[in-house]
Structure 1
């Protein structure tokens, strides 16, 4: 939807008309999901991978527009900053080897992009936050020069006083104030899109919320910003702090636009859509003249452009997506996982999140009363802060109590549930065993992307000044990524 943005100056009438269209669209969506057959097609899994572009010395290289133009593939798009790309992978059927299919496409695309980037003295690879990123790389000149990003920048700044307070704790805390939205573009992720039937939405979405902290802890891959050692998954803190500029009220705060949610879902996707409309003002008030009610009357699937545009500008870590193609369907977009450190690691993270969500979904009637949502939200930030070292609160239906457990111990309990969830979807046993073993190997080695980066950086700092150590770290990361080996097997020397 963002490709439709061609302007970034709006007046009050634009916002008022857009808000009216949003509420009309929500009412029509509530009619649409009752239509027989809506969202009942084959279940598909899709993904988006964000990538960094660097030069051969591992510095951010701002050539995304050149690469997008020359690559000439509509699935490759710009990202906020000129040194980032995003590739939208083809949706795949879940039977029998979805992760193998995604892997094959991803390897093919990365190889082609590497060859193209090489012609311009560059490299591309997935990493949550580039260790060599500098304050010069968040200069306004680094923003991709297209109307969509100018409009988003202006809209986000208008939410508050125009300044972003970056305050992230850690081994070497980071504190500064900036007025540049380009800080947000320092984050790159591996996002999943999972199609879900409307009747299953609430249970499956809640299961995704419950499972996300576990997978995030295992997948953490973003431990530094500007050389500061921060959270194991610092993207979570950075994105939240740069998604909007608050003006705190005396006793309450406007709900964060980048959030983990406000409670368990009790009804369905329309509940989350209503929440996004009610709690968050529009950023991109661009309206169409399409008569959605007439489309409904004609038996067509309404495009609901304003609703889709607005939902795309509320950055919940898990959020609903309405897609009008092929009669229309609902998806859950899972946005918290970092890019990298290897293709096989990203596939294992995806397999665990999908499998665990499916395995837990059938238990949600029992699990929801057993754990308050605030504890799951706490788990999410604990996982982002401490990664594999996190302790998460987990419900026990049999013992009727909550317990805090190390995530590495929790994995032993949850891997069989994830395996059953994947098997229920018709995924082959070989594929299940392969990716669950990748996860298990991480817990045995006590190494994910964040811990590998932390360990290597601390070793390198004994021999090199900080900036040289960061470049050496990034070079070693790139070589390991190119080897195709899972991070559990990466040497720490």
Structure 2
């Protein structure tokens, strides 16, 4: 969620000044791009994982402050809900045995965090949405005690002017009114970062948008919200509705939601930052002392703090990120599509699939996005969220011009995307053992038509078939899920639960 901010009220002049600083930041970004001031190619990737805290019965534990104090590491940070944490892994070069290295680091970090959490009767859980969360858990009193979250909640609710209305129809139908953005905290994800040069940014972002549907189809892990079985990946609709600043009248007019897939392919990273400033009013109009254009004229590199803060309040599934390290600016594509979990092996299989595909598609001489209309990529994303590994996706076929055909997600991945992902990992310089180990996990999910969401849903129905009521069945699923994640055996190998 970004850096801490002070929870102060804003005057009318604050918003005007902030808009001026945003426009100056945009101009400074354009000048940096024109002057080619950005970091050289470094093939750096990064990884963040949002986590849940649950007790031995699989019920949420509202105690991230106590757990973080015990962990005592900057690699772990607070998140929106008191039952949330975030783990951050230092950037790695995309080459060699990078995924095995990440696996060892993640296992070590999560095992340590779990040991500390157990001292206060909590467990670390990697899952898209904890199935035992209820509406009583997701209230403003359970937001983390951090000024930024308080202020963000206040500003979103003030902009909306009325309760947040959740209305998601899937296998079952959920309707719920919330007086805060707390339901957003139910959504825990994996964020995959890739540092890219300005010249490569558009190709990488376009590729990431194009494969969002297949990513979700393979990695879905969030079938339950407030005890209701909804979409196979229910995070996107829940996140969109929980952060929606639009009252119904503005939504009907076509005003864009702050959780946004986008509406077009791009030509430059600048396009995305410009859209964010053009379409979305400020939520946190906090101005810093830095004058970005003056810094540039004096030969320095501006941090563009206002532009970065604003960018962080627009929740694109593939987000542009501007950063400065050691006085040198860089750009990253932050992929926010995937849910957390189920296991470290599954997370890294999803990562290998993503990084390999993005590289292969960005390298193609005839880009995929010249053959796939942007609305098709969005429709694939929604279809995959609804149906998970059973989704039908539309994809251009070789030799068919710009026409797309409908294919089962499993067939598309097995026949076309896994070979592309393998070639992309080869292009990165990833060793064959790493490539084959993690992509084989995706292949087996396709072969068995199994992922985290399908396992959770099947386990729930198996539990209710034995006579358990909804609440007890969901708790049984959560307990068994937690047991199996500790084995680190990928989810497609899990025995039926619970």
Report how far residue 41 of structure 1 moved.
Answer: 4.2
Q: Hey, what does 1:333 align to over in structure 2? A: 334
2:480 aligns with one of 470, 476, 483: 476
Q: Hey, what does 1:247 align to over in structure 2? A: 247
Aligned equivalents of 2:459, 2:44: Cα separation in 1: 38
Give 5+ residue unaligned stretches, structure 1. none
Report how far residue 235 of structure 1 moved.
Answer: 0.5
Report how far residue 366 of structure 1 moved.
Answer: 4.2
Residue 450 of structure 2 corresponds to residue 447 of structure 1: yes
C-alpha root-mean-square deviation of aligned residues, in Å? 1.4
Question: Deviation above 4 Å: which 4+ runs of structure 1?
Answer: none
Using structure 2 for the length normalisation, give the TM-score.
Answer: 0.96
Report how far residue 37 of structure 1 moved.
Answer: 5.0
Report how far residue 134 of structure 1 moved.
Answer: 1.3
Q: Hey, what does 2:130 align to over in structure 1? A: 130
Aligned equivalents of 1:432, 1:372: Cα separation in 2: 30
Report how far residue 132 of structure 1 moved.
Answer: 0.7
SS of residue paired to 1:282? coil
Report if the CA contact (8 A) 1:8-1:148 is conserved. Answer: no
Aligned pairs for 1:221-240 (under 5 A) are 221-240=221-240
Aligned equivalents of 1:281, 1:483: Cα separation in 2: 46
Aligned equivalents of 2:110, 2:4: Cα separation in 1: 27
Report if the CA contact (8 A) 1:389-1:407 is conserved. Answer: yes
Report if the CA contact (8 A) 1:317-1:336 is conserved. Answer: yes
1:431 aligns with one of 431, 434, 437: 434
Aligned equivalents of 2:436, 2:238: Cα separation in 1: 34
Comparing 254-263 with 5-14, which one deviates more in the overlay? Answer: 5-14
Q: Hey, what does 2:275 align to over in structure 1? A: 275
Aligned equivalents of 1:364, 1:318: Cα separation in 2: 22
Residue 431 of structure 2 corresponds to residue 404 of structure 1: no
Q: Hey, what does 2:101 align to over in structure 1? A: 101
Comparing 247-256 with 21-30, which one deviates more in the overlay? Answer: 247-256
Comparing 391-400 with 316-325, which one deviates more in the overlay? Answer: 391-400
Report if the CA contact (8 A) 1:113-1:124 is conserved. Answer: yes
1:459 aligns with one of 454, 462, 473: 462
Aligned equivalents of 1:14, 1:445: Cα separation in 2: 56
Residue deviations 1:180-238, cap 9 Å, x none? 21100000001111111110111111011111210111000000112211100000110
Give 5+ residue unaligned stretches, structure 2. none
Aligned equivalents of 1:24, 1:425: Cα separation in 2: 36
Residue deviations 1:396-434, cap 9 Å, x none? 241222101000000121111111011101111111111
Q: Hey, what does 1:115 align to over in structure 2? A: 115
Q: Hey, what does 1:487 align to over in structure 2? A: 491
Q: How many residues align?
A: 492
Comparing 186-195 with 295-304, which one deviates more in the overlay? Answer: 295-304
Distance 1:68 1:366, change over 3 A: closer
SS of residue paired to 2:337? coil
Q: Hey, what does 1:386 align to over in structure 2? A: 387
Aligned equivalents of 1:361, 1:66: Cα separation in 2: 44
Aligned pairs for 1:52-451 (under 5 A) are 52-249=52-249, 252-265=253-266, 267-326=267-326, 327-363=328-364, 365-400=366-401, 401-412=403-414, 413-451=416-454
Report how far residue 70 of structure 1 moved.
Answer: 2.4
SS of residue paired to 2:103? helix
SS of residue paired to 2:482? helix
